[in-house]
Amino acid sequence: MTHPGAPREPEGMAPGAGGCADTPVLRERGQREVFCGLTGIIWLHRKIQDAFFLVVGSRTCAHLLQSAAGVMIFAEPRFATAIIEERDLAGLADANEELDRVVTRLIQRRPDIRMLFLVGSCPSEVIKLDLSRAAQRLSQRFSPDVRVLNYSGSGIETTFTEGEDACLAALVPEMPAEPGTARSLLVVGALAEVVEDQFIRLFAALGVGPVRFLPSRRASELPAVGDGTRFLLAQPFLAGTARALEARGARHIPAPFPLGEEGTTAWLRAAVEVWGIGEERFAQATAQGRERARAALANHRATLDGKSIFFFPDSQLEVPLARFLSRELGMRPLEIGTPYLHRQHLAHELALLPAAAKLVEGQHVDRQLDRCREARPDMTVCGLGLANPLEAEGLTTKWSIELVFSPIQGYDQAGDLAGLFARPLVRRGKLKV
Amino acid sequence: MQLAVWTYEGPPHVGAMRIATAMQGVHYVLHAPQGDTYADLLFTMIERREKRPPVTWTTFQARDLGGDTAELFMEAARDAYARFQPEAMLVGASCTAELIQDDPGGLAKTLGLPVPVVPLELPAYQRKENWGAAETFYRLVRAFAGPAQTRAPRDPARAPRCNILGPTALGFRHRDDVAEVTKLLTGMGIEVVVTAPMGATPTDLTHLRDADFNVVLYPEIAQVAAEYLKRQLGQPYTRIVPIGVGATRDFMAEVAAFAGLPVPLTDGGDALRLPWYARSVDSNYLTGKRIFIFGDATHAIAAARIAQEELGFAVVGLGTYSREFGREIRAAAEKYGCEALISDDYLEVEERIAALQPELVLGTQMERHIAKKLGVPCAVISAPVHVQDFPARYAPQMGFEGANVIFDTWVHPLMMGLEEHLLGMFREDFEFRDGVAPSHLGHGAQAEPPAAPIAVGPASWVHEAEAELRKIPFFVRGKARRNTERFAEERGIALITLETLYDAKAHFSR
């Protein structure tokens, strides 16, 4: 949980390494204006349809989930919070009994649940409530109807999308073992169903398969994993899940991320090379998608070409997005802030970034706002807490959370992704008030 | 542990943020883990504020817990002062920081900042948002209101003066309520010295003592502070919240008594339309409509009076999530002959609404979702707030204009009287298909999906009865089904026939 005595990272410039080797990275420490990992529940509970997420936390956690969900409250959600109260803090035995009582009530209410995640929070971790033991205990009690797992979505352990990483990493030990060494492809990271279906068709046309996805749409139908498994990351924030898969014998296929025509092509090509499929078949299978993506991007190029862009750290998608926007739409990244820079998973991406872009890892929000105001970018990508204040100062912004909640991967979403960035600029041009 | 799907109130430090954000010249340094900054978006997105809330968060992480989180807090407080130069600072902890016991108040003291620092102790595992707001406002008032005094009678040569207490950031229509009540008071010849916390600086709080009495708009937030000012400065404070026609008149009489003025004769003038609209014959169909009310105590109690006395509805349920005001809600429920519901458990509220089968729900955004699910019309009367609760137009809840706004807001979701009859008479008209929205809501409007039956009774329906049930307009069909099934169940009828349906209709008709 905590890392006592862990040294603080030094502030200031540290030499970069890897692809974009000459670009120095500014490491900052200070106020971080980011979500915690609990926020991932907002999309994970929709993605995994027979799973329920029970946050063991405080009223703040419950309030975060409903505030971040905002207008998404349409049905009874498959998440809830077990709110720790004063009397639970009195003694730990008591807190465990209370948790069992809450889980029992929940499972009675929702007999459709097949998998329950106990999600750790800042308070549960500070009081050292052992959720892995609780999960084992409750798993035994509700076996075989409900499997109980745990992971941490706390702000002290995870930043925003790292909550998905922690959740998927918790699923990896549950994946059935694949006997033998027959090759299969695993696509890792929650994707919109429409995007999954497109990738299934593309891989079929390419002759790559069998193809499986983590997370699966149902927790009870987790894909198998073994020595023959090769995996592609669909999202850049899955370091822990990748390690857990490697421990099960799977091997990572390094690639850029499937954003834009170029990113999607390179991502698919990485798999195709492992499968040893010829260039001709690759060109044939991807031609139509590439053409459609290029045509869709051309519609937005006039709006975005030459425009400067500034990223506040948020989802770890910042580097792939900056690569896509600069190379395929001609935008000029000024500063690319990201909560963490995973050099290994981003190696291909960093190599493709323009040299002028400044990379910033971590955050000191006030200093970053100073730099942003000074740079006056044509577009600022930031969280919901900063967007309206910056708009009021005359800057054009794009809410970063929309990039996590929207289908943006693959050929047929490349135009939509560009559109997300073009819309605020087009809108600003339209308004005469 | 409490199982919560949705919560009516945030944690107490969010209440403190509502005070700090409403004021000018105050900065709040919050010891809190990474992620707690989500609360900023409540202000910038829901209320569409043009500035970030004046809050600095320490956003500590696991690696800091092994080190010196106290030093991190002091650094944040020092930097925040240097950068924002506030007139006063608030310091405190969120739920997680409360557990690590760094004592932000004590730490801030050692910094020797050149401005007043008000420490906040907000027990996050016992209390909630409104309590946090009330406590923060009280602490600030205490810090700046000045020494005790005994009030001398007002010099008759000068106008009576009051303060307006309670409006915050992220409040339900607070912006417009302040404008409306200020206009009302000014019209009575009363000067408003300070409005706080909204728009006030710490220096303004030192002028609270210049008023003769206090007007408390939202007791959930300002009653504790007003009670302090009564003890400390001898200022009486108002108990009547001017929401609704009758309450506004009573409020004016209460204020006039404090101000030493004659009770004003004004009835709201031509601008007050609610009384005539309620008497207009088209409002006949409102008579006895069964209303369920849930919200914060202030708005729920006011709504019950308006519903019963000013619109002729029947209040069938009244409740609040403000446990601190349970007594007041129980008293009001008794007055209207219904059972009080004091709960912050959304599921319990949902169960109660489903059981009572009201024809209109007056609630918060959460009851709006419940009502949508059950296919019952709903109007929002109280926080927790949603972006829709910050309309661009002037839409107060208080005063005479507030009464007009309430008339429109509550009556529009209902099917209009004659339309309801036509739908009943010509229910097989092809344009009256299921799911059609009330015509005054426009062609584009989609009615809510018909309610799924809440509990399927043990009785089953013969085909003929089921077909007849389908002829009943969709917006009352769920109720007819439930009533009939209940009727059957109570009489041990296993098979519902056409006769059972009409027997039940006769039994339940009013």
Q: How does pLDDT run across B168-178, given as a tens digit for each residue?
A: 999 999 999 99
Looking at the predicted structure, is the pLDDT value of residue B311 above 50? yes
pLDDT value at B220 more than 80: yes
Which region among A259-273, A332-346, B106-120, B478-492 has the lowest average model confidence (pLDDT)? B478-492
Q: Show the tokens assigned to B238.
A: 């108002």
Residue of B nearest to A393 (CA): B50
Distance from CA of A159 to the nearest CA of B (A): 7
Interchain CB contacts (distance < 8 Å): A and B: 192
pLDDT of residue A73: 54
Nearest to A187 by CA among A246, A221, A230: A230
Question: How far, in Å, CA of A146 to CA of A148, rounded?
Answer: 6
Q: Of B29, B31, B41, which to mutate for an interface test with A (greatest number of A Cβ within 10 Å)?
A: B41
Is residue B389 annotated as part of the catalytic site, yes or no?
no
Containing H/E element for A57? strand A51-57
A392 Cβ under 8 Å from any chain B Cβ: yes
B 111-140 residues inside an 8 A Cβ radius of A: 123-126, 128
B6 with B116: CB under 8 angstroms?
A: no
> How many angstroms separate the CA of residue A242 from the nearest CA in chain B?
22
The verdict on A169 touching B (C-beta cutoff 8 Å) is no
Run of H or E residues at A393:
none
Contact between chains at B45 and A99 (C-beta distance less than 8 A): no
Higher pLDDT, B266 or B480: B480
User: Is the predicted pLDDT of residue B410 greater than 70, yes or no?
Assistant: yes
Q: Does A280 touch chain B (CB under 8 A)?
A: no
Predicted confidence at residue B446, as pLDDT, reads 44
Q: Is residue B445 less than 8 Å (CB to CB) from chain A?
A: no
Q: What is the pLDDT of residue B438?
A: 54
The tokens for B228 are 């302090």
More reliable by pLDDT, B455 or B470: B470
Q: Look at residue B430 in the predicted model and tell me its pLDDT.
A: 54
A387 part of contact set with chain B, CB < 8 Å: yes
Instruction: Tell me if B128 and A59 make a contact (CB, 8 A cut-off).
Output: yes
Residue A292 has pLDDT above 70, yes or no: yes
pLDDT tens-digit map of A188-210 = 999 999 999 999 999 999 999 89
Cis peptide before B11 (omega within 30 of 0): no
Please report the pLDDT score of residue B437 as a whole number. 53
Q: Residues 6 or more apart from A429 whose CB is under 8 A from it?
A: none
Mean pLDDT of B496-503: 89
Is residue B481's pLDDT more than 90? no
Picking from B4, B41, B48, the nearest residue to A62 by CB comes out as B4
pTM, two decimal places? 0.90
Burial of A241 (0-12, 13-18, 19+ CB in 10 A): buried
* pLDDT higher at A109 or A246: A246
Of the partner residues B38, B63, B128, the one whose CB lies closest to the CB of residue A8: B63
Cβ-contact A245, A187 below 8 angstroms: no
The pLDDT value recorded for residue B386 is 87
Judge whether B50 is closer than 8 Å to chain A, CB to CB.
yes
Residue pointed to by tokens 């009081």: A127
The dihedral formed by the CA atoms of B260, B263, B265 and B271, expressed in degrees to the nearest 10: 80
- Going by pLDDT thresholds of 50, 70 and 90, the confidence category of residue B308 is very high
B443 pLDDT higher than 50: no
In this prediction, residue B454 carries a pLDDT of 40
Distance from CA of A26 to the nearest CA of B (A): 19
pLDDT score recorded for residue A9: 39
What is the predicted pLDDT for the residue at B137? 98
Contact between chains at B99 and A123 (C-beta distance less than 8 A): yes
pLDDT digits (tens, 9 = 90+) for A355-398: 999 999 999 999 999 999 999 999 999 999 999 999 999 999 99
C-alpha distances out from residue A380 to A96, A328, B185, Å? 45, 18, 45
Question: What is the tens place of the pLDDT at every residue in A75-131?
Answer: 568 999 999 999 888 776 688 999 999 999 999 988 999 999 999 999 999 999 999
- Spell out the residues 6+ positions from residue B70 whose beta carbon is closer than 8 angstroms to its own: B102, B103, B107
**In the prediction, which pLDDT does A22 show?**
59
A185 pLDDT higher than 60: yes
Tell me the pLDDT tens digit for each residue of B172-195.
Answer: 999 999 999 999 999 999 999 999
Residue B119 confidence (pLDDT) above 90: yes
Nearest to A83 among B4, B48, B99 (CB): B4
- The answer to whether residue A3 scores a pLDDT higher than 50 is no
Percent of chain A at pLDDT above 70?
Answer: 92
pLDDT of residue A401: 87
- Closest CB from A31, A37, A101 relative to B59: A31
Pairwise pLDDT comparison (B307 vs B150), residue with the higher score = B307
Name residue A230's beta-bridge partners: A185, A251
B435 in A contact zone (CB under 8 Å): no
Distance from CA of B364 to the nearest CA of A (A): 14
Cβ within 8 Å of B, A 31-70: 31-39, 56, 58-60, 62-64, 66-68, 70
Of the candidates B1, B61, B66, the beta carbon closest to that of A98 is on B1
Taking an 8 Å cut-off on Cβ atoms, the answer to whether A60 and B1 are in contact is: no
> Searching chain B, which residue's CA lies closest to the CA of residue A382?
B41
Q: Which of A39, A52, A67 to mutate to test the interface with B (most CBs of B within 10 A)?
A: A67
Among the listed residues B282, B408, B429, B434, the single catalytic one is B282
In the structure encoding, which two tokens stand for residue A131, read together? 């959720």
pLDDT 10s digits, A4-63: 333 333 343 333 344 454 567 999 999 999 999 999 999 999 899 999 999 999 999 999
Shortest distance between the Cα of B155 and any Cα of chain A, in A, equals 47
- Mean residue pLDDT of chain A comes to 91
Which chain B residues are Cβ-neighbours of A32 within 8 angstroms? 34, 37, 59
Inspect the interface and report whether the beta carbons of B95 and A85 lie closer than 8 Å. Answer: no
In this prediction, residues A232-258 reach a mean pLDDT of 97
B392 touches chain A (CB under 8 A): no
Whether chain A has a CB inside 8 Å of the CB on B61: the answer is yes
- The answer to whether A123 contacts chain B (CB < 8 Å) is yes
- Burial classification of residue A142, based on how many CB atoms lie within 10 Å of its CB (0-12 exposed, 13-18 middle, 19 or more buried): middle
Predicted ipTM? 0.92
| Locus of tokens 């802030």 | A337
**Shortest CA distance from B344: residue in chain A:** A59
Q: For residue B17, give both structure tokens.
A: 């943020």
Mean per-residue pLDDT for B59-82?
Answer: 93
Residue B343 has pLDDT above 90, yes or no: yes
Looking at per-residue confidence, does B223 or B430 come out higher? B223
What count of other Cβ atoms lies within 10 Å of the Cβ of residue A371?
17
User: How many C-beta atoms lie closer than 10 Å to residue B409's C-beta?
Assistant: 15
Mean pLDDT in residue range B114-123: 97
pLDDT at residue number B445: 42
